Structure 1
Amino acid sequence: MKLYLKTKDYSVSQEEFGLVQHPELEMLITKPQPKEIDRYYQSENYISHSDSKKSLLDKMYQFVKRVTLFQKVKLVDRYVQDDKSILDIGAGTGDFLFAAAQKGWTISGVEPNSEARNRAFQKSVALSPDLESLMHRKYKVITLWHVLEHLPDLENQILKMISLLEERGALVIAVPNFNSYDAKHYKESWAAYDVPRHLWHFSRTAIKKLFHKYGMEVVETRPMIFDAFYVALLSEKYKTGKTNYLRAFQVGLRSNISAWTTKEYSSLIYVLKKA
């Protein structure tokens, strides 16, 4: 497989990794993929496993998370009229499921990280450590908010998810887009590569082709506007060692303006249904 670029783990280990092109899909693969991946998540910098508000960047992340929670619940509401059952895979500290429960959803969730599960439990959101414990039922909606890129044994995981989906259910997936303006601008310093925690790196074409193999069709694609700004802030820090707020805002804005015509936003939400 052809090397696309070399990057490194900026947030934990500082180890170098390569991104190689998938032979068939417009997708990148992190190489090597560590066998013991857990140690790369053991960091206070990994904010999705915490509710940290220590730094200004943390506070911005938590603010954006609160704003987008409403938008996410509103999106999934459009696809279900009754029996509002939802499974969130990679639920983190449970904020999305907590918001969904307040809107009448019957919630289930999976989160491998014990600390994140404990934080979710404090919000009255009980999460399972793995998907296998939830294989006894089906769901109207299954969500993965920036989780698909983390999953080992990707295609087997996709098969499991589809088997848990109701016949007319919806699979909702949010992932970074390496064809975005900000990805091309920052190159190896683009924070959304986040190696080796991100094992796979998707394009719009890759998502469409990958899930088409399993009888799933993309019925809607929506941008995640805030991601361009947040990713640019992290990327500036990785690239220059400084948090250049003005420069990051400019790059994030350019990325979103560019995407108005190209549709290549920094991150995208895909809604998929069985064809």
Structure 2
Amino acid sequence: MTKTKYLSCKDYTVTGENFDLVYDEDYDMLITHPQPDPEKLPAYYQSDEYISHTDASKTILDKLYQRVKKINLNKKVQHIKTTNPKKGLLLDIGAGTGDFLLYAQKQGWEVQGIEPNKKARILAKEKGISIAEELTIEKTKYDVITMWHVLEHVPSLKEQIQQLSALLSDDGTIFIAVPNYKSYDAKYYEEHWAAYDVPRHLWHFSKKSISKLFMERNMRVVKILPMVFDSFYVSLLSEKYKGSKMRFIKAFTRGTISNLKAKQTGEYSSLIYVIKKAH
């Protein structure tokens, strides 16, 4: 296993600490180093800046995030409908404040969610969505399992993928959304690229990474879908981290360039992987 230093990044959200990104040649993947002990990880999420655990709409960035989230909710459910027209049991791992589960439930799915963050679970409960802290009924088989920007946060990566395989019904589908470090905006912003988000993001994937990790557990990627809005939001945060002036104009420009280049290369800022069991 060949590993070399790729880049050094800063935690811009909570601590200001520096972390290295180490390239794993076998998996074509970047690994955050050092990785905090699992029991210390929650401290890195204790910030009002960490918006996926809140419903905040205080700043322009917050409002933009919430607006894009609503658009993406519809897109996500449409992707699921296309792959799994028959509605069944859906599990969302890393459910945040429950908006996706609420939307899927309204579309006719029976939903369950997992979210370790207590604050986010309370917000979900206020919307009428009950989310568990951890998975308790592991014998249940799910027709759809979703992890929207969650896999990169999981300390025990291979164990998590093995669990996904065990939870998935034979004809079920997994939807994994993760940032793509091979995108144009990642290469342009380098250590300021907001989607590195160290140390909360422990793993940084390419298409090869995801394909190989899931193939090792007898699952295969059947489709890859773009998340076109991510390049704009990530570029805006990246410009903020750089301390840029006119950051909205610069972010819009970089986000547009990233998406235009990705039309040729397929390397969008974030990608959704549609995964099934390899029969």
> Displacement of 1:269 after TM fit?
0.3
Selected match of 1:230 from 211, 230, 233:
233
Amino acid at match of 2:178: V
> Displacement of 1:104 after TM fit?
0.3
- Aligned partner of 1:70 in structure 2 is 74
Question: Helix, strand or coil for the counterpart of 2:268?
Answer: coil
Residue 91 (1) aligns with residue 104 (2): no
> Displacement of 1:243 after TM fit?
6.2
| TM-score, L = length of structure 2 | 0.96
Q: For 1:243 and 1:152, how far apart are their aligned partners in 2?
A: 37
Question: Helix, strand or coil for the counterpart of 2:27?
Answer: coil
Q: Which moved more, 1:215-224 or 1:225-234?
A: 215-224
- Aligned partner of 1:5 in structure 2 is 7
- Aligned partner of 2:258 in structure 1 is 255
Q: For 2:203 and 2:20, how far apart are their aligned partners in 1?
A: 12
Structure 2 runs not aligned, ≥5 long? none
Q: For 1:239 and 1:82, how far apart are their aligned partners in 2?
A: 46
Selected match of 1:266 from 251, 269, 279:
269
- Aligned partner of 1:30 in structure 2 is 32
Q: For 1:39 and 1:149, how far apart are their aligned partners in 2?
A: 17
> Displacement of 1:210 after TM fit?
1.1
What does 1:74-223 align with in structure 2 at a 5 Å threshold?
74-131=78-135, 133-223=136-226
Q: For 1:46 and 1:81, how far apart are their aligned partners in 2?
A: 34
> Displacement of 1:83 after TM fit?
4.9
Q: Is the 8 A contact 2:19 2:34 kept in 1?
A: yes
Amino acid at match of 2:23: Q
Q: For 1:157 and 1:243, how far apart are their aligned partners in 2?
A: 41
Q: Is the 8 A contact 2:29 2:206 kept in 1?
A: yes
Q: For 1:240 and 1:45, how far apart are their aligned partners in 2?
A: 16
> Displacement of 1:161 after TM fit?
1.2
Q: Deviations over 1:70-120 (max 9, x none)?
A: 110111112224351100000000000000000000000000000000000
| TM-score, L = length of structure 1 | 0.98
Question: Helix, strand or coil for the counterpart of 2:229?
Answer: helix
Q: For 2:71 and 2:137, how far apart are their aligned partners in 1?
A: 29
Q: Is the 8 A contact 1:6 1:16 kept in 2?
A: yes
Q: Which moved more, 1:15-24 or 1:81-90?
A: 81-90
The runs of at least 4 consecutive aligned structure 1 residues that moved more than 4 Å come to none
Q: Is the 8 A contact 2:153 2:201 kept in 1?
A: yes
Structure 1 runs not aligned, ≥5 long? none
Amino acid at match of 2:248: Y
Q: For 2:169 and 2:230, how far apart are their aligned partners in 1?
A: 30
> Displacement of 1:172 after TM fit?
0.4
Q: For 1:53 and 1:208, how far apart are their aligned partners in 2?
A: 36
Q: For 2:263 and 2:78, how far apart are their aligned partners in 1?
A: 22
Q: Is the 8 A contact 2:87 2:108 kept in 1?
A: no
